[in-house]
Chain A
Amino acid sequence: MLKVFSTEAAIIACHAEPAALGRLAAPDGGFVARIAPDEVWLIGRRTARAELVRRAEEEVGAPAGDGFVADQTDGWAIWSVGGALVREVLGRLTIIEIPAAAPAFVQGAISGAPGKILVDGDVAHLMVPSPLGHHLRDRIVAVCGDLEPALDEPRAFVLSVGAR
């Protein structure tokens, strides 16, 4: 059975010099994603949003210093796919090669949309800009028609296989 559901997470973008970003630890049950040399995301529970911002600002020296922290939670839609065929599904949506090790984080086009993918065991979290959330949902359902996808209730984000 292939489960498709939206995931509610906090996405906190931290912009700073690479060395400063290296100090950032993954939130509890969350993930640190390297977006660029001068940008990482803290992906954690939606309920911990404010706390993640505060912690990140302490670490990267924002707002007083040179770093900058932005709560980008609203800017990204997350649709997740769960089940044994998750890599088959990814092969229908993206040209990006997904590393075998988990958790794996990659960036690139997802069904034509600029996106990011976090693979956590047999769950893949696919992230696209919020204005394209409807597109991602529709495409997942369309390309997985033969895999009998079941649209499930939204879930809170929690990483199952460990941090970073």
Chain B
Amino acid sequence: MSTCNRLREEQLLLFAYHEEEAPEVARHLAQCPACRARLEETREEARMVRATAAALAPVEPPAKLIRALRAEAALTATKRRRRHRAAWWLIPASALVAVVLLFVGLNPRGQRQPDETRLAGIAPLNLDRIETDLDRRLGEIGVPGDGTAPDGDLDAWISDPEADLETAALAPATGDEALAPSIRYEPEASLDRIEVTLVHLEKDLGLEPAGDDPAKGE
């Protein structure tokens, strides 16, 4: 019989065990008697090997090993069931705890306040305190804080110009639009106001500026 080596033995083995019946192998086998004979020989060997394997005596493992493994499996399954039961009520309970923590964390005082509102809420408090403090101090040195000052908003600016600018920017729209312009920082005008205020203070304290008062004689 002529020989043909077109198909490798590995291809024939896969074909004989029906693991891979590639179309190109099947096409070649259909037209090549030599390779068909090789395939038949491989199939015969496979049958012989299968019979050999079937004739091998089965070996039973020791019973103690099986008992130990069954016990281990029972333990594993029991743990799994316990976890499953625990998880059953832990999931909703955890979700509830998470919601409560989220609520408390976001709203420690029991009411929700956006950041802007909270910051703006601080500003009027500071202004009030500053105003009160300034009024008190001016009162102590005899300067009236009731509008007789050169400008009604001067005291607010003196306290902290930067803070006032910030306050103005953060001030909520209250409808009282007079607030914002009153605390706007205008360097030249403010210097004039400081000067006037100092004059008032010196006058009230009895400290006349030397040579600056034309009414005062030499």
Q: Say whether A associates with B.
A: no
Chain B positions near chain A (C-beta within 8 angstroms)? none
Chain A positions near chain B (C-beta within 8 angstroms)? none
